[in-house]
Structure 1
Amino acid sequence: MHTISKILIGLVALIHAYILVFEMFLWESRGPKVFTTIPSDLFTPTKVLAANQGLYNGFLAAGLIWALFLIKDVNWKRNVAYFFLACVAVAGVFGAVTASMNIIFVQTVPAGLAILSLMVLKARS
């Protein structure tokens, strides 16, 4: 796996690790500042739902970290990265359709760039 792909995958993993922290631990304090279209009185009642979403984002980050650091076989490493990046991209599209179009730029675009880098750099080698 080439350095550019590793950097992009690492960036996507970091984004999702941050989303885990945000949704699991900062939902009530930072949530109203980030999601200004949601009435502020809804953050406390939706805290458990947000924490659940955060946990799933953590699983995505864990899968990408697994692909980056724990898998030695190059083909497996690439395939695991493809799988988790595709999950991120699909989740980003769904989030953009159902919640906020900005999610496309936070999740889908970085994941798509990482997938593209894996494809292009594999074709070159």
Structure 2
Amino acid sequence: MSLISQILLVLSAALFFFIFYLETLATTSDKTSQTFGMTKADLESKSLNVLMRNQGVYNGFIGLGLLYAAFFSSNGKEVALVFLVNILVVALYGGLTSNKSIILKQGGLPFLALLSLIFL
């Protein structure tokens, strides 16, 4: 795996750790409200809060998977490809069903990482 691919995987992991932070630890913060385009009152809803935290845990594990692929897996390229394709499918789905900006915000760095794995 090239150094550029590793850097892009680390940046993608950092993005998903940030999403984890917003959804799990700072669920009702101003930054979470701004990032997801939701009111603080909506974010304080118990049912939504639980769903956000659950989704945040998934995003944290995606970040861990990307780091595992970049530094620890004996088959890092293959592991990274599985995670990156998963991310891009979810970003496309979110963009089509919720907010078009999700495609670039959530899928931009992983798309570059995917391209680097394929072509470098």
Percent identity, aligned pairs only, is 34
Q: Note the C-alpha offset of 1:33.
A: 2.5
Query: How many Å separate the matches in 2 of 1:63 and 1:20?
Result: 13
Query: How many Å separate the matches in 1 of 2:35 and 2:114?
Result: 28
Question: So what's the TM-score if we normalise by structure 1?
Answer: 0.87
Q: Mapping of 1:1-125 within 5 angstroms?
A: 1-29=1-29, 30-36=31-37, 38-45=38-45, 46-71=48-73, 73=74, 76-121=75-120
Unaligned runs of 5+ in 2: none
Q: Note the C-alpha offset of 1:116.
A: 0.7
Q: Counterpart of 1:63 in structure 2: which amino acid? A: G
Q: Note the C-alpha offset of 1:118.
A: 0.6
The alignment yields a C-alpha RMSD, in angstroms, of: 1.3
Question: So what's the TM-score if we normalise by structure 2?
Answer: 0.90
Q: Note the C-alpha offset of 1:77.
A: 0.9
Q: Which runs of 4+ in 1 moved over 4 A?
A: none
When Rg is computed on C-alpha atoms for both structures, the one with the higher figure is 1
